[in-house]
Amino acid sequence: MRWGVILCLAALPNALWASEPVALPPDAFPTPDSALVTLGRDLFYDPILSGNQNIACATCHHPTLGTSDGLSLGLGEGGSGLGTAREVLDGQMPRARIPRNAPALWNVGAKEYVVMFHDGRVMLDPDAPLGIRMPEGRELPAPVSSALAAQVILPLLSPEEMAGIAGENPVADRVAKEEIKGENGAWALIAERVAAIPSYQERFERIVKRAPEITDIGEALAAFIQFEFRAANSPWDQYLAGESAALEPAAQRGALLFFGEAECGSCHSGAFFTDHGFHAIGIPQIGPGKAKAAGLPSYADIGRQAITGDSEDRYRFHTPSLRMVGLTAPYGHSGAYPTLESVVRHHLAPLESLMTYDRAQALLPAVGLGDDWGAMNDQEELLNIAEAIELPSRDLSDAAVADIVAFLNALTDKKAAKGRLGIPENVPSGLAVDR
């Protein structure tokens, strides 16, 4: 397939590229277990996994919103509704904005995805316990088959995302005391709650031959995500397979720019358009931040450095895949940019874009959660973000930007976007499904 790709692009006029396009290999995804997939679907849409039983995984990763939530920074526990219509629940208040943009789930179940979260705090590591590095205090209680299966059980513990706060429910009480693992830990309480529902218990009995544990729940969620959100047949894939008419002229020009003069493919490389690495590109920092070091203001987010402790990783974030990117706005670790054009232009002039950022671009429901602009108002923090930028500026015409955007939109698998199993009408708990 490699030479087929090269010949295909070489047929385009002036085909000079800085990085090589790669077609998806036929074995890019694991073989799904149908029983585990359908079980995972119900769990994905079921609020039973949340502390207050009012929010599901799907709430912030909804297929109608490109498997994200359509917001710069989401509102988890304490909110009601989807996307920009999400608002405060009667008599409650969101704990805080989620400090980072909800990442899309397209293709994260592929075999090559071994790094999870914007900062990579979950990743395959042969030297880590059970082969997967996890945040301190949240190490896996049992082996799982993938980084994804490990990642999906962590939002269940977040007070802002799904757990709630101490005093509201037993899960939140355990989390507040850092009682995560063990027979009486938060994960065990969640698993017991699931097992108490006959439909779930019977299905887990058939699949794992016992009552579910939290890692079994993780495996089911991962199996569903891998199956439902697999996107591998975009116009670009069809073009690489020899269907020359699949890619419109503007997208063809955009492909040449992407892999050539614009050098987008140097980081957005490989079949999934990501090097799975970490880079500092000066995305504007908004919201409550995610500071983890002494002396940092609360609104700071130093990205990968908070995980590695390495100053070289300051303000670096994981390179996102660009497959389905036309559906997954807003963009950046803080969701600062609402359109493909705006985030492409940031990549072309990151320093200028950071320093002249139009705050009206942020999609932030007004819920009175404090100042969202601490970092952008802090001149020292703003200059620190700017100093870390490792992305060179490039001068491209408006027409060239439009062509790159056309190419990015050609990475959308329209059939996959319609879903495979779809949203269930109801779930075994009987709780309301976000539709």
CATH number at residue 385: 1.10.760.10
Determine the distance from the C-alpha atom of residue 68 to the mean position of all C-alpha atoms in its chain, rounded to a whole number: 7
Tell me the C-alpha distance between 46 and 55, whole Å.
8
Tokens of 388: 């870390």
pLDDT of residue 90: 65
In this structure, the answer to whether residues 220 and 238 fall within a common structural domain is: no
Average pLDDT rounded to a whole number, residues 360-378: 90
First-to-last CA distance in the chain?
40
User: Degrees (nearest 5) of the Cα angle 417, 421, 427?
Assistant: 125
| β partners of residue 316 | 303
Whether residue 167 is found in the same domain as residue 311: no
Is residue 182 one of the residues assigned to a domain? yes
Q: Is residue 83 part of a domain?
A: no
Q: What is the mean pLDDT of residues 44-73?
A: 97
Residue 95 predicted with pLDDT over 70: no
CA distance 93 to 112: 39
Same domain, 193 and 242: no
The tokens of 139 are what? 């190490």
Domain membership of residue 428 (yes or no) is no
What was the pLDDT predicted at 120?
Answer: 98
At residue 292, does pLDDT exceed 80? Answer: no
Residues 156, 48 share a domain = yes
Q: What is the pLDDT of residue 56?
A: 97
- The per-residue pLDDT for 283 is 98
pLDDT beyond 70 at 92: no
Per DSSP, 151 falls in state H
DSSP H or E segment with residue 317: strand 317-318
Domain check: are 279 and 326 in the same one?
Answer: yes
Q: Is the pLDDT of residue 127 over 60?
A: yes
Residue 284, pLDDT score? 98
Q: How many Å is the maximal CA-CA distance in the chain?
A: 65
User: What DSSP state is assigned to residue 25?
Assistant: P
pLDDT per position as a tens digit, 260-280: 999 999 999 999 999 999 999
User: Does residue 94 belong to any structural domain of this protein?
Assistant: no
The reply to whether 267 and 292 lie within a common domain is: yes
Domain match, 365 and 304 both: yes
Cα–Cα distance for residue pair 132/148, rounded to 1 Å: 10
Quote the CA–CA distance of 373 and 358 in Å, as a whole number.
Answer: 12
Q: Which residue has the tokens 């002229």?
A: 249
- 97 strand-pairing partners: 75
Task: Tally Cβ neighbours within 10 Å of residue 284.
Answer: 25
Number of domains in the chain: 2
State percent of the chain over pLDDT 90.
88
Mean pLDDT across 284-291: 93
Q: What is the mean pLDDT of the chain?
A: 94
List, as one string, the DSSP characters of 119-156. T--EEE-TTSGGGEE--TT---SS--SSHHHHHTTSGG
Residue 294 pLDDT exceeds 80: no
| pLDDT tens profile 312-358 | 999 999 999 999 999 999 999 999 999 999 999 999 999 999 999 99
What per-residue string of b and e applies to 145-156 under the rule 16 or more CB within 10 Å gives b? Answer: ebbbbbbbbbbb
**62: domain range?**
34-68+103-230
The conformational region for residue 179 under phi > 0 = left, psi -120 to 50 = alpha, else beta, is beta
**Residues 249, 206 share a domain:** no
Q: Flag whether 405 is in a domain.
A: yes
* Residues 256, 193 share a domain: no
Read off the pLDDT of residues 395-410 as tens digits, 9 standing for 90 and up: 999 999 999 999 999 9
Q: What is the pTM of this model?
A: 0.95
In-domain check, residue 73 = no
Residue 1 has pLDDT above 60, yes or no: no
As a whole number, mean pLDDT of residues 77-82 equals 88
Q: Is the pLDDT of residue 14 over 70?
A: no
Whether 289 is covered by a domain: the verdict is: yes
Is the predicted pLDDT of residue 414 greater than 80, yes or no?
yes
Is the confidence at residue 91, as pLDDT, over 70?
no
Q: Which ranges constitute the DSSP H helices of 198-349?
A: 198-208, 214-228, 235-240, 249-259, 305-308, 340-348
226 plus 370 within the same structural domain: no
Q: Is residue 435 part of a domain?
A: no
Domain co-membership, 202 together with 276: no
DSSP assignment letter at 6: H
Domain shared by 315 and 381, yes or no: yes
